[in-house]
Amino acid sequence: MIFSEAAERNKQPILNILRPLLANRTAVLEIGSGTGQHAVFFASALPHLIWHPTELPDKLAILTRMCRSHPSENLAAPLPFDIDDDHWPTIQADAVFTANTLHIIHWPQVCRLFSRAGALLPQQGIFCTYGPYNRDGRYTSISNAQFDEWLKNRDPGSGIRDIADLQQLAEKCGMPLQHDFAMLANNRLLVWRKN
């Protein structure tokens, strides 16, 4: 089974932030669940809500194996999901969560993700994004600068996003930034709330 050391390290700190944010929520759509380590951990720790994991169709088998090996009554069957697809999963969710995706996908896909999340969420729904971010056009650490260089050498369309750019985008989608939490390894958890 494929295992992510980073996901294992950050799952508890992320949960510590998510727990109060999701206390009154009923369902979460997770975009890009990867290995599924976050999905199975968060579903087990937050039994009051339904956790809907998703992944690209060609990577869905990895996620499905993880979810089947850690079943929870509130962990939904993994769904195939592609940001570029016009058809999003037809589920009711009052929260959307994604970790370490915004710096991988291209900017037009980031725009599409925010737009579709804003359309999916009800009033006061929240969109939580976790990962590395720049602030005011500057890297927040040497390691983030090195990581961004590596990302762009691998794929010029990827790269660490600036919080100011995301704020402009999110506000156009009716989701102003509500919280900005500092996390491990120079990452942040940003919470956007649909107004």
The residue type found at 97 is: F
Whether the CA torsion 77, 20, 169, 98 is positive or negative: it is negative
The reported pLDDT for the residue numbered 181 is 98
Contacts of 78 (CB under 8 A, 6+ apart): 33, 36, 39, 53, 54, 55, 60, 63, 64, 67
The reported pLDDT for the residue numbered 90 is 84
The reported pLDDT for the residue numbered 109 is 97
Question: What is the distance, to the nearest Å, from the Cα of residue 150 to the centroid of all Cα atoms in its chain?
Answer: 21
The reported pLDDT for the residue numbered 2 is 74
CA angle at 21 for the pair 15 and 27, rounded to the nearest 5°? 85
The reported pLDDT for the residue numbered 86 is 83
Residue 102 · residue 165 · CB < 8 Å = no
Residue 153 · residue 141 · CB < 8 Å = no
Cα distance between residue 126 and residue 28, in whole Å: 9
Q: What are the CB-based long-range contacts (under 8 Å, 24+) for 163-167?
A: 163/133, 163/134, 163/135, 163/136, 163/188, 163/190, 164/135, 164/136, 164/137, 166/102, 166/110, 166/114, 166/129, 166/133, 166/190
Position of tokens 């040497």?
142
Contacts of 146 (CB under 8 A, 6+ apart): none
The residue type found at 122 is: P
Divide the 195 residues of the chain into consecutive groups of 10 and give the mean pLDDT of each group. 83 98 98 96 98 96 95 96 87 96 98 96 98 96 96 98 98 98 96 97
CATH numbers and ranges of domains, the chain: 5-193 (3.40.50.150)
Backbone torsions φ then ψ of 8, nearest 5 degrees: -65, -40
The reported pLDDT for the residue numbered 1 is 63
Cα distance between residue 24 and residue 94, in whole Å: 9
